[in-house]
Structure 1
Amino acid sequence: MTLFTIDKVRKTFKNGEVEEEILKGINLSLKEGEITALVGASGSGKSTLLTIAAGLQSATDGQVLFEDQNLTTMNTEQIRKLRASKFGFVFQFSHLVPFLTVEEQLLLMLDIAESPLKKHEQQSEVHRLLQLVGMAHRKAAYPAVLSGGEKQRVAIARAIIHQPKVLFADEPTASLDSQRSQEIMQLLSELTTTLNITTLMVTHDEEMLAYADRMIKISDGAVLSNTLY
């Protein structure tokens, strides 16, 4: 089932008197429970496309449709609530809050998402998810004592603790070595299937494409190829 549709999306920026077209009428759809990888050279527009899809910036033209909602016509508060409740985010760096423990990172996300769960239910859900990502034994640890791979595992758990429909991942393995990258992608693949999450991932690492269901290659702001594995 198609969950997400990007329809004729264009993005332009003013560079002095010159208007630069970063995205040139992009069309694509994301299906439930699939990992879609966006690939392309630096400056091709793939990260811009991801941030527009996620409602982090607006398109110049075109539409972004999620379920029965049009992000293009939403105001700032509506988009914020949608991101907090339905979207999850994982970036190149974990961006964990340094003064919060692993457990507290996830509880904070539940608070931001305005979770209806009671306090004891939230703690139970945090413990369940930390077990799922292999970090339950580190729940009382602070980010400073975690390895890079551990931080990304916590960041992934934080991104999905509120049960989002879509996970946006921008170079989630770029700061990790090869072994840790494989572990994180295996985890993302398992979680996408287990929790039926739709994942849109930007990556430059061709080895990570083995975990994708679909690869979309972007070149000069346009879709060059759309390959289903």
Structure 2
Amino acid sequence: MSLFTMNKVRKTFTNGDMKEEILKGVNLSLREGEITALVGASGSGKSTLLTIAAGLQSASDGQVLFQENNLSTMNQEQIREIRSKKFGFIFQFAHLVPFLTVEEQLMLMLDVSETKLKKDEQKREVEIILQLVGMDHRKQAYPSSLSGGEKQRVAIARAIIHKPKVLFADEPTASLDSKRSKDIMDLIRDITKTLNITTLIVTHDEEMLSYADHIIKMSDGLIMQEAGLNYELKENA
């Protein structure tokens, strides 16, 4: 079932008298419980596509539809509410708050997303999610004492603590070594399937594509190719 759709989305940036069209009428559909990977060279438009899908910037033209809501016609407050309650975000770097413990990072996210849980209920939710990502033994640790892989696990826990419908991941393994990258992708895949989340990932790492249900190759602001299996994309790229 399609949960998220983009119809003829365009994005143009203006710099003085110069206009640059980054997205040139992109159509995209994301399905529940599946991972879609966006690949392409730098400047192909994949990160711009992700940020527009996530409501972090607006499209110049076209529709962005989520659960029958048209993000393209919403005001910033309406979009912010959807982002805080329905979307989760993972980036290349964890961006953890340095003076908060692992547990406090997740408690803060529950407050921001307005889950309206009591403190003891929040603590139970945090415990469940930290067990899911294998970090329950580090809940009182501060970011400075965590490894790169552990920080990213906490970032993933923070992204899913409020039970989002869509998870956006922009180069989530780019700062990690090969082993930790695979561990993180194993975790993202398991979470996507277990929680039936719709996941959109931007990545440069072809080794990560084996985790995706769908792979979309972008070039010059257009979707050039789609594949349900990663080897099809590699052979035809």
Cross-structure match for 1:54? 54
The 3-state SS of whatever aligns with 2:173 is coil
Give the Å deviation of 1:105.
0.3
The 3-state SS of whatever aligns with 1:49 is helix
Cross-structure match for 1:130? 130
Give the Å deviation of 1:14.
1.1
1:218 aligned partner, one-letter code? M
Using the size of structure 2 for normalisation, the TM-score is 0.96
1:161 aligned partner, one-letter code? I
Distance 2:192 2:53 in 1: 18
2:228 aligned partner, one-letter code? L
The aligned runs of 1:1-229 (5 Å cut-off) are 1-229=1-229
Give the Å deviation of 1:17.
1.1
Deviations 1:60-119 (A, max 9, x none): 000000011000011010000000000000000000000000000000000000012221
2:93 aligned partner, one-letter code? F
Distance 1:195 1:12 in 2: 36
The 3-state SS of whatever aligns with 2:108 is helix
1:4 aligned partner, one-letter code? F
Distance 2:118 2:200 in 1: 31
Distance 1:105 1:176 in 2: 21
Identity of aligned residues (%): 74
Deviations 1:29-59 (A, max 9, x none): 0000000000000010000000000000000
2:96 aligned partner, one-letter code? L
Unaligned runs of 5+ in 2: 230-237
Give the Å deviation of 1:218.
0.5
Question: Size of the alignment, in residue pairs?
Answer: 229
Unaligned runs of 5+ in 1: none
- RMSD of aligned alpha carbons: 0.5
The 3-state SS of whatever aligns with 1:179 is helix
Distance 2:128 2:223 in 1: 39
2:130 aligned partner, one-letter code? L
Give the Å deviation of 1:15.
2.6
Distance 2:15 2:224 in 1: 25
Distance 2:160 2:94 in 1: 14
